[in-house]
Amino acid sequence: MQAQYFQTKNMPLAITLITVGFKLETLDRKSEKTTYYFLRVAGLDEAVQAFWQRNLKVEPLALFINQAIISSCFLSE
């Protein structure tokens, strides 16, 4: 995909980005590890940086629910 998308193979990062309000545009399961694609919008790069710096605040229950949703997508196939 083009540079207008942020992509990651890191599932915890993807779940965290969803939890703080970024929309998962699509995912690619063709390789061994799934690639998650997010539209590169204002604040996304800062959220990714805050995640890696362990500075990003998320609501724990929402994080858990989103993790369950993403995990169930993989189990349903």
Average pLDDT score over the chain? 90
Of residues 32 and 11, the one with the higher pLDDT is 11
Q: Is the pLDDT of residue 25 over 60?
A: yes
| pLDDT tens, position by position, 42-51 | 999 999 999 9
Question: Domain residues of the chain, as ranges?
Answer: 5-75
pLDDT at res. 29: 85
pLDDT value at position 30? 84
Q: How many CB atoms lie within 10 A of CB 29?
A: 11
> What are the φ/ψ torsions at residue 19 (nearest 5 degrees)?
-65, -35
Residues 1-17 have pLDDT tens digits of 557 999 999 999 999 99
- 10: DSSP letter: -
